Amino acid sequence: MRIERIDESTIKFFITYQDIEKRGFDKEDLWMNRKRGEEFFWSIMDEVNHEQEEDFSMEGPLWIQVHAYDKGIEVVVSKSQDDKPFSTEQTPMDINNNDVEQFLENIATDSEDVTPVTKEPVMVKFDEFEDLIKYTHEVEVDETGYEDLLIAHKGNYYYQIFFDYRMDFMDMERIEAKLLEYSSPAELSSMVVEEYGKVIMSMNVRNKVRKFFKEN
């Protein structure tokens, strides 16, 4: 599970369906079984709090957005500040600790008809590490709009991008197009690569590669 603390009142995490199954749940639990969905939500929030240096208090109204993808789900949780409306491009749901069940029921009702407005995580393959070095030095992109991850597997380098849900869709498309000029679409699924590969860099991968490796 990938966790990002946006600010003091907002946290975001992405979890694959494979990770969900490892925790004793399945995809259908999230949308069809309200009790199991509620158990999953609170278990994940406990895990998020455990991994964060500062606890993310669950007291008071919460605003929750869920984006469902082929490989997993992205959840954004925000605490209401002074009971003022929280403005985002989408209309969030205002819930409190006692209303998680209703929230999950709404998600189950709407999930079949909703098309995510954000792009699913992108994964490409670099045959040579030098190609990744060239990409980081020659292509300028807004690196604040996504998180990235670099995994080594069987002599190849798999690079994943997890776009911020607030990023413009056309900007996502442009970033992916430039990335594919230096790489190729991954022939393996992200689940296989994450399971059998080795993470060698995470968070600000492009910046780290530029910092430690010079282009020939």
pLDDT at residue 198, rounded to an integer: 92
Place 137 in a pLDDT band, splitting at 50, 70 and 90: very high
pLDDT higher than 60, residue 143: yes
Tell me which residue has tokens 């603390």: 5
Percentage above 90 pLDDT, the chain: 22
pLDDT higher than 80, residue 135: yes
Domains, the chain, in order of start with CATH, read 2-110 (no CATH), 122-212 (3.30.70.1950)
Mean pLDDT of 160-165: 86
| Token pair in block for residue 22 | 């490892």
pLDDT at residue 116, rounded to an integer: 40
Mean pLDDT of 153-159: 93
Report how far residue 126's alpha carbon sits from residue 132's, in angstroms, rounded to the nearest whole number: 6
Residue 56 is classified by DSSP as -
Residues 6 or more apart whose CB falls under 8 angstroms from that of 125 comprise 156, 157, 158, 159, 183, 184, 185, 186, 187
The per-residue pLDDT of the chain, averaged, comes to 76
pLDDT at residue 59, rounded to an integer: 61
- 7-64 pLDDT tens trace: 777 888 888 888 888 888 877 767 667 778 788 888 888 887 777 656 666 566 777 7
- 53-110 pLDDT tens trace: 566 665 667 777 777 776 778 888 887 655 444 333 333 434 444 444 444 554 444 4
